[in-house]
Structure 1
Amino acid sequence: MARFPAAVIGFAMRHAYTPDPARQSPASDACRRRFVAALSAVPSRVAAALIFLRTSMKVLRYSPGLLAFFALWHPVPVRAAASMVVDDAGVTPRGQCQLEAWWRATPGGASATAVPACNVLGTEFSVGITDVRHGSAALDIGAKHMLRDPEQHVWGLAVAVGLQRDWQDPQQRASYLTVPLTWSFGADGATRMHVNLGLVALHAGSDATTAGAGLEQVLTPKWTVLAEASGDDRNGWGAQIGMRRPMGRASSVDLMVGRDHVAAPRGWITLGVNLAMSP
Structure 2
Amino acid sequence: MFSLAVCLPISAQAARPLVTDDARLTNAHSCQLESWMRSYQGGQELWALPACNLGENFEITLGGGTYRNRDDHYQTEDWVSQFKTLFKPLDTNGWGVGFAVGRVMHPDIQPGPNQLGNTYFYVPASFSWHDDALIVHVNAGMLRDRQQARNKLNMGLGAEFQLGGPFKGVAEIFGDYTQSPFYQMGLRYSLLPDVFQIDGTIGQQVDGNRQTQWLSIGLRWTPK
Gap regions ≥5 residues in structure 1: 1-79
1:111 pairs, out of 36, 45, 55, with 45
Equivalent residues in 2 for 1:120-199, closer than 5 Å: 120-121=54-55, 122-133=57-68, 134-151=74-91, 154-168=94-108, 169=111, 171-172=114-115, 173-186=117-130, 188-199=131-142
Q: Does 1:204 align with 2:124?
A: no
| Cα distance per residue 1:145-169 (max 9 Å; x no partner) | 0111103660000100001111333
Helix, strand or coil for the counterpart of 2:181?
strand
Give yes or no for contact 1:193–1:216 (8 Å, CA) kept in 2: yes
Q: Which has the higher strand share?
A: 2
| Cα distance per residue 1:201-224 (max 9 Å; x no partner) | 111212100001001010112211
Give yes or no for contact 2:92–2:132 (8 Å, CA) kept in 1: no
When structure 1 is superposed on structure 2, of 240-249 and 260-269 the one drifting more is 260-269
Helix, strand or coil for the counterpart of 2:75?
coil
Equivalent residues in 2 for 1:20-99, closer than 5 Å: 81-99=15-33
**Larger Cα-atom Rg:** 1
RMSD across aligned positions (CA): 1.7
Give runs of ≥4 in structure 1 deviating > 3 Å: 262-265
1:229 pairs, out of 168, 173, 179, with 173
CA deviation after TM superposition for structure 1 residue 94, in Å: 1.5
Equivalent residues in 2 for 1:8-19, closer than 5 Å: none
Give yes or no for contact 2:61–2:83 (8 Å, CA) kept in 1: yes
CA deviation after TM superposition for structure 1 residue 200, in Å: 0.4
CA deviation after TM superposition for structure 1 residue 102, in Å: 1.0
The count of residues paired between Structure 1 and Structure 2 equals 198
* TM-score normalised by structure 1 residue count: 0.67
Q: Which has the higher helix share?
A: 1
Give yes or no for contact 2:93–2:132 (8 Å, CA) kept in 1: no
**Structure 2 CA distance, aligned partners of 1:139 and 1:177?**
16
Gap regions ≥5 residues in structure 2: 1-13, 69-73
* TM-score normalised by structure 2 residue count: 0.83
The one-letter amino acid paired with 1:255 is G
Helix, strand or coil for the counterpart of 2:25?
coil
The one-letter amino acid paired with 1:202 is D
Give yes or no for contact 1:243–1:255 (8 Å, CA) kept in 2: yes
**Structure 2 CA distance, aligned partners of 1:271 and 1:84?**
12
